[in-house]
Structure 1
Amino acid sequence: MDEDKSEKNEKTEDEITLKPKMTLVNGITVIVGSIIGSGIFVSPSGVLKHTGSVNVSLVVWTVSGIFSMVGAYCYAELGTMIRKSGADYAYIMETFGPFVAFIRLWIECMIVRPCSQAIVALTFSQYVMKPFFPECEPPDDAARLLAVWCICVLTFVNCYDVKLATWVQDVFTYAKLLALFIIIGAGIYQLGQGHTEHFSFINTKSEVTSLALSFYSGLFAYNGWNYLNFIIEELKDPVRNLPLAIAISCTLVTIVYVLTNVAFYTTLSPVEILGSKAVAVTFANRLFGPFAWVIPVFVALSTFGAVNGILLTSSRLFYSGALNGQMPELLTMIQAQRLTPAPSVLAMAFLSMLYLTVSDIDALINYVGFATWLSIGVAVFCLPWLRWKQPDLERPIRVNLFWPILYLLCTVFVTVVPMVASPVETGFGFLMILSSIPVYFAFIHWKNKPQWFVKGLNDVTTFLQKLLMVVGKAKTAKL
């Protein structure tokens, strides 16, 4: 009875605080804005490096888009069946319980989000510095320092004012779209001039392991297709709008990404692509002459906004985990004067700066790729599992089981095969995932903790609460 009452209270709370205000267009912009970040400006060289040829790399970009669309389609059934905040974290919690759900939460909060943010911040610094180092690569240490500066500035913005942070997000979203449209327009002009000499299957790599690693880079660029599920309770008519938003946005992004890559290859040779850490800058230098500065400026603005977006959205995931008692209580608190989620923003910034000790973007993509697709594969596995275990659950959208099975087979390919080809990076990723197990048993599963342990945790929480001047969200809501 008590459990039923608590569930009703939770539903009432959601109904009071979360209103379905988002239209289909809003849903499309959420997905498009979440996907398009730094990936398209970072990944072309990574995909080409592992495929060997231009034509196969374009196939990988197209298949990566279709792969993401299939995953998003599977999430449509899960999102309309389990309407709880937290997306795949909530689906795994409902299906496999708190232990597996915590591993997913740990992967997202400790690996995927901060590592992705480090990649985007490094991309920002490389595009800002590239005009000053036209003949060589920018120094690693300087790039990392500038990336730290980027994270620190946006951490201040997100801790200072939520409205300012959302304004930054809106403005910089337009910048990245404009940069891509300029590149695509130039590419169409180049195609019209007959520049197709680089499109071939020459030097194609036949190793299965190389092909799997190429998908890490390609899929990294499509990361974010599942973000609409995090706010499904705010979407109007989700049964209609969720699958439509997924289909339209994933198709649009796939077309934009493939056309952007085609544009790059109309002007740059594979050798030039592989030798550049800032492909769009090299492209602009070749085509735009004195106006070449426009592209690095827009890409820098794009990646700056992408860092802001990760900081802005991560607090919701921290909050969802903390509400389930699987994250520190401090992360549910907000700054008393500024009303911002300062603790979670600071935690994300600190973790991101730890990942900046590695300046190799390809290695970071392998870390985040292994962890991301392994955990999302587990979430998709919830779909056939619930069909078997709970066949009577209401399913407004019913996906043909062919699609989740196909997605799971592809997930095995992109997670298991790279273990052979890139054992160091995937090994580190696997160790980071395994580190969640002792944390879970020490802080969550272990209920009868000694008094000194509980007091120590409370003292640390109280000290940080006073230092940051933060209070619990629940208390502020009641006041």
Structure 2
Amino acid sequence: MASSKEDNTSSSKSFDEVDIKPTRQRSSAIKDIYEQPDDNGYQKDDKDNGVVKLKRRLTLIDGVAINIGIIIGSGIFVSPKGVLNGVGSVGATMVVWAVCGVFSMIGALCYAELGTMIPASGGAYAYIQLIYGDFFGFMRLWIAAVMAQPGSLAVVVLTFASYSLQPLYPYVECPPPRTPTVLIAITCTIVVTLINAVSVRWSSWLQDVTSICKVGALVIIIISGMVELATGNTENFKNSFEGTELNGLGIALYSGLFSYAGWYALNIVVEELKDPYRNLPRAIVITIITVTIVYVLTNVAYFAALSPEELLASNAVAVTYGAKVLGSFAWIMPLAVALSTFGSANGNMLTSSRLFFAGARENHLPDLLSMINIEKKTPLPSLLFTSLLTILYSMAGDVFTIINYFNFVTWLTSGLAVAGLLWLRYKEPDRPRPYKVHISLPIIFVLACIFLIVMGTIAAPLDTAIGVAIMCTGIPVYFFIVKPKKKPEIIVKANDLVTRWFQKLMLVVAEER
């Protein structure tokens, strides 16, 4: 009878029924998940039984939509110019797009092994934290929290705002003014924050819809491009490798890989994915294959209608393409890019907030960011923190320049995470691996990351130096604030007071582990 009564209790606790005392546990949630995966129920769906924790509500389709929604942002609509400018010919451009897809697939498959072996939210942060230790994990989180994540999200919402205003400012010499662009970007940020705060299901539904819309827009480009080819517009594909230059290969690869950025997104929210042992690898394979095919065919369509000179002269390739090919339906392209970036903003908000949630759970960020709303089971403080930083960056100067500072950091941390996979193969060869890649794939990926780091440093040494300098600002923060177990009593009391106040305001408590 007792068990029956327990089963029938309400799935939501009232705020008075939970302990709101701030927690400062030094134990690692990531380590617990790694050492006791079976005890955490990763093979079965997580039912809402009243426990205050993130729930497993994301299906395979949701996982694919999240990855596609984040990967297909603004990149494919603007990056073709950078790829062509780097290698100088149509044929080499197509090769670069295919190579970037293969490289992304290799990295994503390596992350699939890590994600099923360490099914903890946080992605590369979680893997580096477990494999290399507390300090290196914090440094990865620091650079993401300070600039990389909110800066990237600010770029997305600003792109959404710019394309939303594009129909009102159709001429290149008269771009949308800054003030309405920033206001629309802030509005977009607030909207996606509210959606993610209210319901993970709403967020995943929005991701599903926008992913379908953006793929649909690219299909329109592809079909119209095939029509152009069928009517004899093949001039740009004759002697397609003529004029190829390898001096700008690094720039071309960075531009192409920027469009594939986000292949690691699902790993960041793996604790909310149903049956991650099977669905994580499946979602990754489906996503990368789909995106690679769509990207290559989209570029074929671009060159079917635009000469290399026309493409290089355009700052918004999709808009230029629409104006030339779609005629009176050219308005579809700005709308498609707006929908694409809105979906990307939603996905980035979902994953960025989970990264900060995971970092706070490891005591690398304030306790408040690791807390969950007792009714919605969403990390409300982390969402608001992400939103606030994004709004600040949206109002700042040239956010796009900030992103250039982190190419070095991005490939360094990705390479370190996959190198850690090789280390775990050596250190724990008998450990169960629900998904396992061939040993050659992580080796190829690590070598490719080294190549990208070297090429990026040679191409932009100042940007690399600035990125490293910003990352190093986390060193004193770690040793003077994060690492000490005993902090001054006045700081502890002040932190507890502020945390409790915000807990009552937002109805949030620490995750029940």
- TM-score where L is the length of structure 1: 0.87
One-letter amino acid of the structure 2 residue matched with residue 182 of structure 1: I
Query: Does 2:88 correspond to 1:52?
Result: yes
Q: Which has the higher helix share?
A: 1
3-state SS of the aligned residue for 1:198?
helix
Query: Does 2:164 correspond to 1:128?
Result: yes
Aligned to 2:12: none
**What's the CA shift for 1:91?**
1.9
One-letter amino acid of the structure 2 residue matched with residue 380 of structure 1: V
Question: Which of 161, 168, 178 matches 1:141?
Answer: 178
Q: Are residues 305 and 153 of structure 1, via their aligned partners in 2, closer, same or farther at CA, if it must alter by over 3 Å?
A: same
**What's the CA shift for 1:284?**
0.7
Aligned to 2:21: none
Distance 1:442 1:4 in 2: 20
Question: Which of 331, 352, 359 matches 2:398?
Answer: 359
Query: Does 2:338 correspond to 1:292?
Result: no
Aligned to 1:206: 246
Distance 2:461 2:28 in 1: 48
Aligned to 1:379: 417
3-state SS of the aligned residue for 1:392?
coil
Number of equivalenced pairs: 471
Distance 1:470 1:22 in 2: 24
Distance 1:126 1:412 in 2: 35
Question: Which of 73, 77, 93 matches 2:129?
Answer: 93
Distance 1:405 1:153 in 2: 42
CA RMSD of aligned residues (A): 3.1
Q: Are residues 337 and 393 of structure 1, via their aligned partners in 2, closer, same or farther at CA, if it must alter by over 3 Å?
A: closer
Question: Which of 420, 442, 445 matches 1:404?
Answer: 442
Query: Does 2:487 correspond to 1:449?
Result: yes
Question: Which moves more between the two structures, 135-144 or 341-350?
Answer: 135-144
**What's the CA shift for 1:96?**
1.0
**What's the CA shift for 1:186?**
0.9
Distance 1:156 1:264 in 2: 37
The 5-angstrom pairing of residues 51-450 of structure 1 reads 51-137=87-173, 138-139=175-176, 141-142=178-179, 143-159=181-197, 162-199=200-237, 200-207=240-247, 210-232=248-270, 241-334=279-372, 340-356=378-394, 357-359=396-398, 361=400, 363-450=401-488
**What's the CA shift for 1:266?**
1.5
Q: Share of identical aligned residues, percent?
A: 47
Q: Does the 8 A contact of 2:129 with 2:136 survive in 1?
A: yes
Q: Does the 8 A contact of 2:86 with 2:251 survive in 1?
A: yes
Question: Which moves more between the two structures, 429-438 or 232-241?
Answer: 232-241
Q: Does the 8 A contact of 1:358 with 1:364 survive in 2?
A: no
Q: Are residues 359 and 54 of structure 1, via their aligned partners in 2, closer, same or farther at CA, if it must alter by over 3 Å?
A: farther
One-letter amino acid of the structure 2 residue matched with residue 267 of structure 1: A
Aligned to 1:40: 76
**What's the CA shift for 1:213?**
2.4
Q: Does the 8 A contact of 1:140 with 1:359 survive in 2?
A: no
Distance 1:102 1:267 in 2: 48
- TM-score where L is the length of structure 2: 0.82
The unaligned stretches of length 5 or more in structure 1 are: none
One-letter amino acid of the structure 2 residue matched with residue 205 of structure 1: E
Q: Does the 8 A contact of 2:101 with 2:288 survive in 1?
A: yes
One-letter amino acid of the structure 2 residue matched with residue 270 of structure 1: P
The unaligned stretches of length 5 or more in structure 2 are: 1-25, 48-53
Q: Does the 8 A contact of 1:336 with 1:469 survive in 2?
A: no
**What's the CA shift for 1:22?**
6.2
Question: Which moves more between the two structures, 389-398 or 216-225?
Answer: 389-398
Q: Are residues 442 and 77 of structure 1, via their aligned partners in 2, closer, same or farther at CA, if it must alter by over 3 Å?
A: same
One-letter amino acid of the structure 1 residue matched with residue 107 of structure 2: G
Question: Which moves more between the two structures, 29-38 or 436-445?
Answer: 29-38
Distance 1:293 1:438 in 2: 51
Q: Does the 8 A contact of 1:102 with 1:440 survive in 2?
A: yes
3-state SS of the aligned residue for 2:244?
coil
Distance 1:462 1:204 in 2: 62
